[in-house]
Amino acid sequence: MRESRSPAGRILLYVGVILGAAIMLFPFLWTVITSITPEGSLADGPTLFVQDPTLDAYRTLLDAVPMWRIVLNSLGIAIASTALQLVTGSMAAYAFARLSFPGKNIVFGFYLATLMVPLQVLVVPLFIEMKTLNLQDTYFSLLAPTIASAFGVFLLRQAVAGVPIELDEAATLDGAGHLRIFARIVLPLIRPALATVAVFAFMGSWNSFLWPLVVIRSPELMTLPLGLSTLQGQFTTQWDVVMAGSVVSIVPIAVVYLLAQRHIIAGVAHTGIK
């Protein structure tokens, strides 16, 4: 039986939710407002009400850096990275959840241990590997470290483990093998978890800065975080232009999240990730 709330309790709840939403949305609102504020007005101090909004910062942004090329680079790498992580993660998750092989739990434990290794520790070995293979300063060098994700495997394994094993047994009796069970039964039932991994993978690749900074030298291969870093000068910075670039970088992430929001909430709930 649901616990009834008093009118005062409901009002306090709504006020708290509204305040929390306002606090979270304020940085994004501030970014948009600064991007449409005339450059001369920024010296007068911060304001939430722009008297003469302008899109000059976005025009300057397009002239300062090859923005469309940079956005396409980031978008292509993010989509490829997301697709590869879904393929490798789902197949590994099925193997760890459904197949029996010697040392499975030990291998999975070592696999999860890699989550405790920060990227900063791996940058030098990865760069040496790319240089030895003569792959530095290429699209593949940007993509290679993100082909697989230990977090994605862990989350998807939890989802696959939640699928009733009786479905596999029934399909086996009908003559289905592991590949058909994986494609026809397991994958459709773990779509919320797949959407969750997809959003995390896309965000991780889209916002990646350290690895592209180390491995990329050619301006035509720059990703969006690298391109935005070039907008900050040594002595002066056009903050309206920087904020315009930030808006460009935020929009794709917001769209992806809004499209997959329902699946993300369901995936997190079903896999027990907090």
**For residue 11, pLDDT beyond 50:** yes
pLDDT per position as a tens digit, 219-252: 888 898 888 888 776 446 777 888 888 888 888 8
Q: How confident is the model at residue 1 (pLDDT cuts 50, 70, 90)?
A: very low
pLDDT attached to residue 86:
94
Answer whether 272's CB lies under 8 Å from 161's CB. no
pLDDT attached to residue 234:
47
Q: How confident is the model at residue 99 (pLDDT cuts 50, 70, 90)?
A: confident
**For residue 46, pLDDT beyond 70:** no
Residues 115-119, mean pLDDT to the nearest whole number: 84
Report CA Rg, the chain: 23
For the ranges 7-21, 39-53, 157-171, the lowest mean pLDDT is seen at 39-53
Alpha-helical runs (H) found in 53-190: 56-64, 67-98, 104-113, 119-132, 139-143, 150-161, 165-173, 178-181, 187-189
Answer whether 203's CB lies under 8 Å from 253's CB. yes
**For residue 77, pLDDT beyond 90:** yes
pLDDT attached to residue 266:
64
Q: Which amino acid, 255?
A: V
Determine what percent of the chain is predicted with pLDDT higher than 90.
17
Closest to 181 measured CA to CA, from 94, 89, 97: 94
Neighbours of 146 (CB within 10 A): 19
**For residue 269, pLDDT beyond 80:** no
Q: How far is CA 37 from CA 26, 45, 141, 247, in A?
A: 16, 11, 38, 13
**For residue 85, pLDDT beyond 90:** yes
Q: Give every CB contact of residue 248 below 8 A, 6+ residues apart in sequence.
A: 61, 67, 71, 224
Closest to 166 measured CA to CA, from 153, 156, 155, 181: 181
Residues 177-198, mean pLDDT to the nearest whole number: 89
Q: How far is CA 273 from CA 117, 202, 262, in A?
A: 20, 19, 15
pLDDT attached to residue 265:
67
What is the CATH topology of the domain spanning 58-271? MetI-like fold (1.10.3720)
DSSP per position, 212-270? HHHH---GGG--HHHHHHTTB-SS-B-HHHHHHHHHHHHHHHHHHHHHHHHHHHHHHHH
